[in-house]
């Protein structure tokens, strides 16, 4: 049995939770449970009703208003001890970083964090996680009694491949086993959502610009390409550090993680800190004058050339359609 701990954001399932469900489904567990926590009678996101999971469980208590970390850990800990799954998966979100290590300690079970891949070999889950800022990939298996816990790096699994079903899964609202002594935290509203003017995680097409653009005055070229493609604009870190584009346009390990259908990387070298934020894009097009630029290792289509020649030609071709 696999349990996916899900989060909601603005009454919708967090995109990372959908990715965790897709990862869990790919392992074909005999039973897959989606678990949520919150206030009694709280809304269950509508897209949960079409997910191909065996059950949806919502642990509920007045004290779980805003999902305070210690309350959620106590509620989930007690419930997981009862149902005893083999594996507990969740997205590596800010909330998960707070909750899941405490949960693993409470259950006295092993945890592997920020995994980029997951498979089962000889009945054992094998997790991949990056080390030394992405220079090495380690394969990790966990020992000892189950459940084993793992968090999954954003963008490593495709949420849009999560299987759906026509009849809704059964939803069980279960009173959470917590008391006021268990809850000393008060959860503030999520700071990230409030700060960001645009949510690149929802963009279907993205044109991202890097240091190859050379100067802020040249950005209009990228804006024209984005307009011709109906895409959002994103950037590598140096562009945002220079103040040429706002920080909420930055993609990468210290920016947003995006999974659009199309990601056009213009004058971006493909440093690992950038790539971790966009490698989940379905189709990656790279434009770079250096044929050895690392971005070409993950690009589906590569154009080796000067962006100041290639991009105007692309815009002209797109405008002729
Ligand atoms: C802790 C930490 C966190 C970081 N977080 C992030 C992050 O979140 N996001 C991020 O992006 N980076 C991040 N970085 C920085 C990262 O390591 C790289 O420095 C950065 O991604 C490089 O940006 P770039 O590709 O735009 O620039 P460069 O690496 O300088 O690459 C520019 C590319 O443009 C090409 N080019 C130049 N001129 C042209 C032309 N005329 N036509 C076509 N191509 C051209 C060059 O060949 C080159 O490949 C982080 C670094 C650290 C240490």
pLDDT tens readout for residues 256-314? 888 899 999 999 999 988 998 898 899 999 999 999 999 999 999 999 999 999 999 99
CA of 93 to the centre of ligand 1 (A): 25
Exposed e or buried b per residue across 257-293, where buried means at least 16 C-beta atoms within 10 angstroms of its C-beta: bbbbebbbbbbbbbbbebbbbbbbbeebbbbbeeeeb
Mapped onto helix, strand or coil, the DSSP state of residue 144 is coil
How many A from CA of 195 to the centre of ligand 1? 24
Closest residue (by CA) to atom 53 of ligand 1? 273
Given this model, what pLDDT does residue 197 score? 63
Integer Cα distance of 284 and 268 in angstroms = 12
Q: What is the distance in A from the centroid of ligand 1 to the CA of 260?
A: 20
- Beta-strand pair 124-131/136-141: antiparallel
**Range from 42-46, 139-143, 187-191, 253-257 carrying the lowest mean pLDDT:** 187-191
The answer, yes or no, to whether residue 195 has pLDDT greater than 50, is no
Mean pLDDT of 127-151: 90
CA of residue 295 to ligand 1 center, whole Å = 10
Residue nearest atom 14 in ligand 1 by C-alpha distance: 273
Using a 6 Å cutoff on CB, does residue 129 contact ligand 1? no
Residue in 269, 285, 313 to alter for ligand 1 test, most ligand atoms within 8 A of Cβ: 269
Handedness of CA 7, 11, 14, 17 (dihedral sign): positive
Q: Provide the pLDDT for residue 194.
A: 41
**What pLDDT is attached to residue 92?**
93
Determine whether the shortest distance from the Cβ of 64 to ligand 1 is under 6 A. no
Tell me the C-alpha distance between 129 and 178, whole Å: 34
Minimal CA–CA distance to 198: which of 264, 251, 275, 262?
251
268 lines ligand 1 (CB under 6 A): yes
pTM for this model (two decimals):
0.76
User: What number is the average pLDDT over the span 112-119?
Assistant: 93
Average pLDDT, the chain: 92
Residue 316: predicted pLDDT = 96
**Region 57-62 average pLDDT:** 96
Q: Where does the pLDDT of residue 228 fall: very low under 50, low under 70, confident under 90, or very high at 90 and above?
A: very high
Is residue 192 very low, low, confident or very high in pLDDT (cuts 50, 70, 90)? low
pLDDT of 134 higher than 80 = no
pLDDT, position 123: 86
Contact 117 CB / ligand 1 (< 6 Å): no
Please work out whether the CB of residue 211 comes within 6 Å of at least one atom of ligand 1.
yes
Q: Report the range of poorest mean pLDDT among 4-13, 52-61, 213-222, 232-241.
A: 4-13
Q: What is the pLDDT, as a whole number, of residue 202?
A: 80
- Ligand 1 pocket test target in 248, 274, 284 with most atoms within 8 Å of CB: 274
Q: Please compute the mean of the pLDDT values over residues 62-68 and round it to a whole number.
A: 92
Q: What is the pLDDT of residue 100?
A: 98
Q: How far is the CA of 213 from the centre of ligand 1 (A)?
A: 11
Residue 130, classed as helix, strand or coil, is: strand
Per-residue CA distances from 320 to 309, 314, 316 (Å): 17, 10, 6
| Helix or strand run (H / E) with residue 302 | strand 301-304
């Amino acid at each position: 049995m696999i349990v996916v701990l899900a989060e909601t954001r603005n009454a919708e399932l967090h995109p990372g939770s959908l990715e965790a469900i897709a990862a869990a489904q790919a392992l074909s567990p005999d039973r897959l449970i989606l678990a949520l926590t919150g206030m009694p009678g709280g809304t269950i996101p509508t897209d949960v009703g079409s997910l191909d999971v065996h059950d949806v469980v919502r642990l509920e208590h007045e004290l779980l208003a805003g999902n305070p970390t210690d309350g959620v850990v106590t509620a989930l800990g007690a419930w997981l001890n009862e149902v005893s799954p083999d594996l507990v998966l969740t997205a590596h979100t800010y909330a998960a970083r707070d909750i899941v290590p405490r949960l693993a300690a409470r259950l006295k079970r092993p945890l592997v964090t920020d995994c980029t891949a997951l498979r089962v070999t000889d009945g054992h889950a094998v997790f991949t996680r990056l080390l030394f800022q992405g220079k090495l990939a380690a394969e990790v298996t966990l020992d000892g009694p189950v459940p084993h816990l793992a968090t999954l790096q954003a963008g490593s699994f495709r949420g849009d491949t999560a299987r759906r079903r026509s009849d809704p899964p059964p939803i069980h609202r279960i009173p959470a086993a917590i008391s006021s002594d268990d809850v000393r935290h008060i959860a503030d509203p999520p700071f990230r959502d409030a700060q960001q003017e645009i949510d690149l995680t929802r963009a279907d097409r993205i044109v991202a610009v890097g240091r190859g653009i050379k100067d802020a005055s040249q950005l209009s070229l990228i804006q024209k390409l984005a307009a011709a493609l109906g895409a959002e604009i994103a950037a590598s870190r140096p562009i945002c550090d220079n103040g040429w584009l706002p920080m909420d346009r930055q993609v990468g390990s210290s920016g947003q993680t995006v999974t659009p259908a199309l990601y056009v990387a213009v004058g971006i070298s493909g440093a690992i800190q950038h790539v971790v934020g966009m490698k989940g894009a379905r189709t990656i097009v790279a434009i770079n004058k250096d044929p050895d630029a690392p971005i070409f290792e993950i690009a589906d289509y590569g154009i080796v050339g000067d962006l100041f020649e290639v991009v105007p030609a692309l815009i002209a071709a797109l405008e002729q359609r």
